[in-house]
Amino acid sequence: MKIHVYRDLEAQGKAAAALFAAQILKKPDSVLGFATGSTPLRTYAALADLYAQGALDFSRVHTFNLDEYVGMAREHEQSYFNFMYTNLFSKVNIPAENYRLPNGLAADIDRECAEYEAAIEAAGGIDLQFLGIGHDGHIGFNEPCGEFPKATHCVALTPMTIEANKRFFASADEVPRRAISMGIGTIMRARGVVLVIYGADKAEITARALKGPVTPQVPASILQYHPNCTVLLDEAAAAEL
């Protein structure tokens, strides 16, 4: 694990974007794994800036997102599809057929999970995966549990995650109860992983995930075993390391 600490969030976001930019420059048809939430926003803005400056070409890039809510249409304001479209896909030249998120409206959710996993494999696997972390150590929607989930699967959101995500909805009641998420196995098979964490509220989980025992009770702790994982922290998140 390579751990870098940044003084400000702008520099942290730009550093994460630089890793993705380098990946695209090295391999223009890269398969990238993306996340939603607050953490990647500066990175996506920096990638969009690089594209606007003519420094990056997304025309051959393929992307897979970590997760999507079950029962939510792509067009819904809070869908992860809409998040990605608004913050990145609409701002760069990635063809619409090249980006994919799990389909939360699929009639057969288990089949959708299997097809999503197969599509990642058919694309050659993920070259570089962006990750944020939840306060309970989740990555994607892989919440603390008895064993690391291997493949893309359907998950029930924990009360903590529903609480954390209710800020995007009118009330906690409107937060979807289930999601489709890449598994820990899917994430670990990515050839490279970039984990970005900021804020004092994540200092404790940062220390547990990066320096504590590897356990499915702290799903992100498995990244200690990833052969090519880069962690970008701000000083507040690094405080308990």
Q: Could you give the residue numbers annotated as active site?
A: 67, 136, 138, 143
Q: How far is the CB of 239 from ligand F6R (least distance, A)?
A: 17
Under a CB-based contact definition with an 8 Å cutoff, are residues 50 and 17 in contact?
A: yes
Stretch touching ligand F6R by CB under 6 A, among 13-21, 85-93, 129-137, 168-176: 129-137
Write down the number of H helices and E strands in the chain. Answer: 7, 10
- # binding residues, ligand F6R (CB under 6 A): 13
Q: Tell me whether residue 35 or residue 229 sits nearer to ligand F6R (CB atom).
A: 35
Residue located via tokens 């509220």: 201
Does position 42 bind ligand F6R by CB under 6 A?
no
Stretch touching ligand F6R by CB under 6 A, among 29-37, 86-94, 169-177, 221-229: 29-37
Residue located via tokens 């306060």: 135
Longest CA–CA separation in the chain, Å: 47
Q: Tell me whether residue 60 or residue 224 sits nearer to ligand F6R (CB atom).
A: 224
Q: How far is the CB of 76 from ligand F6R (least distance, A)?
A: 15
SS3 30: coil
Q: Tell me whether residue 132 or residue 176 sits nearer to ligand F6R (CB atom).
A: 132
Binding mask 81-120 for ligand F6R (x = CB under 6 A): ----------------------------------------
Among 13, 102, 134, 219, binds ligand F6R (CB under 6 A): 134
Q: Contacts with ligand F6R in 139-158 (CB under 6 A)?
A: 139-140
Alpha carbon of residue 189 to chain centroid? 14
Stretch touching ligand F6R by CB under 6 A, among 12-20, 47-55, 56-64, 127-135: 127-135
Q: How far is the CB of 66 from ligand F6R (least distance, A)?
A: 4
Sheet with 229-234, strands from edge to edge, namely 2-6, 229-234, 192-197, 128-131, 31-34, 62-65, 99-100
Among 12, 23, 30, 39, binds ligand F6R (CB under 6 A): 39
Which residues, in sequence order, are CB contacts of 52 under 8 Å at separation 6+?
91
Under a CB-based contact definition with an 8 Å cutoff, are residues 163 and 172 in contact?
A: yes
Which uninterrupted H or E stretch holds 178? strand 178-181
The secondary structure of 111-140 as a DSSP string is HHHHHHHHHHHHTT--SEEEE---TTS-BT
Stretch touching ligand F6R by CB under 6 A, among 3-11, 56-64, 93-101, 128-136: 128-136
Question: Which residues contribute to the site for ligand F6R (CB under 6 A)?
Answer: 35-39, 66-67, 132-134, 138-140
